[in-house]
């Protein structure tokens, strides 16, 4: 075997800020949007209150938005069908420049940008439909468009930018300039308190130094949103701050174009800043607001990933249907064999639910009546996990052909179905824009916000006895009113939600009663856990993850039922929609029951002991007998500030 990894150089940067766990949590907490000024269906769900009135009747877009959106989708569909060669993008690992130019000419870069800045002004609903369409033609194209508009320059400027910044940059982003978002660093992922890139004030400018990793679109971008740390000094409050940076600025070097197992056409790189001067006028918001800007941008920006996940589900369903009808085994189509049929039913029902979650969340974002920070996060979490499972099941349904590349299938005379590519391309969504594990913690923090707001001081070791006494009194008042409401509710009444049992249709009302009952059960479980573990609750990540997963299933069940009822009232496949919603809810209920069981019956404590043994070397003997083909090198590349020693591979597309 090669030398033990523990003996290899760590490569950790020496200029990295030293941050304790508590300090890191304080930075993340300060960046959170603290207030709840609008109602939230998902927040209420985690509190045991099933507010169906917040999502039913299903909100609908305005007629003119629908007309404008459908007209654009028709143009985009024609472009995708005639101009985008997915196989070529996969083969060459690059989106052809003429495709990107054509997308610019079509106005795709400005889908979410207001018409007064030269954009198309599409709603969130139709923006997501467009992403699903483009992403189905090529996931790399979908990623480029999503990174540009969902987290790139347009979205943070729309929310936090000055009028001068909007006038300057939005027209460029709408038609010509590709943007990218730069937060991650070689040694900084989901813990931004350790951010090392600096922005030092110098007159009317800031001077940026540092290295950013995994800059999606960074290789071809014209404009960058960069998060950098401003040191506190006289006249400067300092803190992590957001800037718009011209990618062509002196001192900006794209040092590497990264390659991945999937999304081979994305232009993702490593970007170094050395003494890059950025005008103070390019600062977004105030100093120290960078993380808040990033998180707020992601509140709706996260909906782009589930959009492409829903599109992937639709494609998986199409291929599963066509293949399973054509392929025969033991005298009948494989779809009619239960082992395969159950997989197809899962794909069909889950695709329906994903689209329901996406459209509901998107329409709520457009109406801006509800706070959807939890809904969008749940949509991202649930969509990325379920789409991956659907693609995996499709590969299994296709058998050996699912593992074979589209190019190989085509070369030997069969239909070139890129099932294995879809599996590879979807895998990153469980990591992009917040990994599943981080999303669990983020959503869990929001889900228990009401508890922490009244009882947080009770478990805070830094609070005084008087603060704890005050918190105890407040908590007593809150729980005296809240806990009795978790005992009974409409979910126990057999006639509740009767409008979801129209004549001649499957009865969906039992599923909504189930959601109501289990929302209360989830809230009781969370309260019991907080009482049991108190300050140690934040370390119980397995428990918190299951709480969030239960909430995601209950949200998806609610969205599926509401969407089915909408389609019924519109006379648009209502009967079939009810059948799919029923199938999804029955599948989901099985998962929910398992998750509830695992809240209290699990191996979490034993797992922690095993992990300590692994890290301590107790099981190194288990690693014997294999060869490690990894190449030598540090686990984390050095990212010391300084001039670049590498060729600039930045290539703006004009």
Tell me which residues are annotated as active site: 433
Chain centroid to CA 560: 20
Contacts of 51 (CB under 8 A, 6+ apart): 39, 41, 44, 45
Residue closest to 302 by CA, chosen among 398, 394, 433, 160? 433
Q: Around Cβ 545, how many Cβ atoms within 10 Å?
A: 20
Task: Identify the three-state secondary structure at position 246.
Answer: strand
**Scanning the structure block, which residue is given the tokens 């927040």?**
43
CA distances from 621 to 3, 614, 624, 625 (A): 14, 10, 6, 9
Q: Around Cβ 279, how many Cβ atoms within 10 Å?
A: 14
Contact between 346 and 585 (Cβ < 8 Å): no
Task: Identify the three-state secondary structure at position 205.
Answer: strand
CA distances from 150 to 133, 179, 430 (A): 16, 10, 17
Residue closest to 322 by CA, chosen among 354, 301, 347, 297? 347
Tokens linked to 344:
């197809």
Contacts of 73 (CB under 8 A, 6+ apart): 126, 129, 130, 133
CA distances from 120 to 73, 126, 303, 607 (A): 12, 11, 19, 51
Measured CA to CA, the distance from residue 251 to residue 513 in angstroms comes to 60
Residue closest to 157 by CA, chosen among 211, 110, 201? 110
């Amino acid at each position: 075997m090669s030398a033990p990894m523990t003996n290899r150089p760590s490569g950790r940067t020496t200029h990295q800020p030293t941050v304790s766990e508590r300090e890191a949590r304080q930075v993340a907490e300060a960046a959170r949007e603290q207030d709840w000024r609008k109602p939230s269906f998902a927040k209420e769900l985690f509190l045991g209150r099933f507010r169906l009135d917040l999502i039913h009747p299903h909100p609908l877009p305005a007629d003119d938005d629908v007309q404008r959106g459908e007209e654009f989708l028709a143009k985009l569909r024609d472009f995708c069908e005639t101009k985008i060669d997915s196989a070529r993008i996969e083969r060459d690992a690059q989106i052809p420049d003429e495709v990107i130019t054509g997308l610019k000419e079509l106005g795709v870069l400005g889908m979410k940008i207001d018409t007064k800045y030269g954009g198309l002004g599409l709603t969130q609903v139709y923006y997501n439909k467009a992403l699903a369409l483009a992403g189905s033609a090529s996931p790399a194209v979908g990623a480029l468009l999503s990174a540009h508009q969902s987290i790139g320059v347009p979205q943070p400027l729309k929310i936090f930018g000055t009028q001068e910044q909007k006038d300057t940059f939005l027209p460029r982003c709408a038609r010509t300039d590709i943007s990218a978002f730069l937060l991650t660093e070689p040694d900084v992922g989901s813990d931004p308190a350790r951010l090392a890139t600096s922005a030092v004030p110098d007159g009317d400018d800031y001077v940026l130094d540092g290295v950013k990793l995994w800059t999606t679109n960074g290789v071809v971008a014209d404009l960058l949103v960069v998060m950098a740390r401003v040191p506190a000094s006289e006249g400067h409050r300092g803190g992590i701050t957001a800037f718009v940076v011209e990618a062509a600025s002196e001192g900006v070097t794209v040092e590497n174009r990264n390659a991945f197992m999937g999304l081979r056409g994305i232009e993702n790189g490593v970007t170094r800043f050395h003494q890059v001067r950025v005008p103070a006028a390019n600062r977004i918001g105030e100093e120290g607001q960078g993380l808040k800007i990033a998180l707020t941008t992601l509140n709706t920006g996260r909906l782009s990933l589930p959009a492409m996940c829903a599109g992937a589900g639709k494609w998986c369903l199409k291929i599963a249907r066509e293949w399973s009808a054509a392929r025969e085994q033991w005298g009948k189509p494989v779809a009619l064999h239960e082992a395969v049929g159950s997989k197809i039913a899962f794909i069909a029902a889950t695709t329906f639910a994903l689209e329901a979650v996406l459209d509901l969340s998107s329409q709520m974002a457009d109406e801006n009546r509800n706070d959807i920070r939890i809904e969008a996060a749940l949509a991202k979490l649930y969509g990325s996990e379920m789409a991956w499972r659907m693609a995996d099941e499709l590969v299994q349904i296709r058998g050996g052909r699912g593992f074979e590349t589209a190019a190989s299938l085509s070369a030997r005379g069969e239909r070139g179905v890129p099932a294995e590519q879809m599996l590879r391309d979807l895998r990153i969504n469980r990591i992009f824009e917040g990994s599943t594990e981080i999303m669990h913690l983020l959503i869990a923090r929001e889900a228990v916000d009401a508890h922490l707001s009244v009882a947080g001081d009770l478990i805070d070791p830094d609070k005084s006895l008087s603060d704890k006494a005050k918190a105890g009194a407040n908590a007593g008042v809150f729980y005296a009113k809240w806990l009795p409401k978790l005992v009974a509710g409409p979910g126990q009444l057999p006639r509740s939600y009767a409008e979801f049992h129209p004549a001649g249709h499957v009865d969906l009302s039992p599923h909504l009663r189930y959601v109501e009952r289990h929302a209360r059960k989830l809230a009781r479980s969370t309260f019991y856990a907080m009482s049991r573990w108190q300050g140690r609750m934040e370390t119980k990540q397995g428990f918190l993850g299951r709480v969030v997963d239960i909430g995601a299933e209950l949200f998806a069940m609610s969205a599926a039922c509401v969407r089915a009822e909408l389609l019924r009232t519109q006379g648009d496949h209502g009967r079939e929609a009810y059948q799919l919603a029923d199938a999804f809810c029955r599948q989901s209920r099985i998962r929910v029951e398992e998750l509830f069981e695992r809240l209290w019956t699990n191996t979490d404590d034993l797992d922690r002991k095993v992990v300590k043994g692994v890290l301590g070397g107790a099981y190194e003997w288990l690693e014997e007998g294999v060869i490690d083909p990894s190449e030598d090198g540090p686990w984390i590349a050095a990212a010391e500030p300084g001039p670049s020693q590498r060729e600039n591979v930045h290539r703006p597309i004009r």
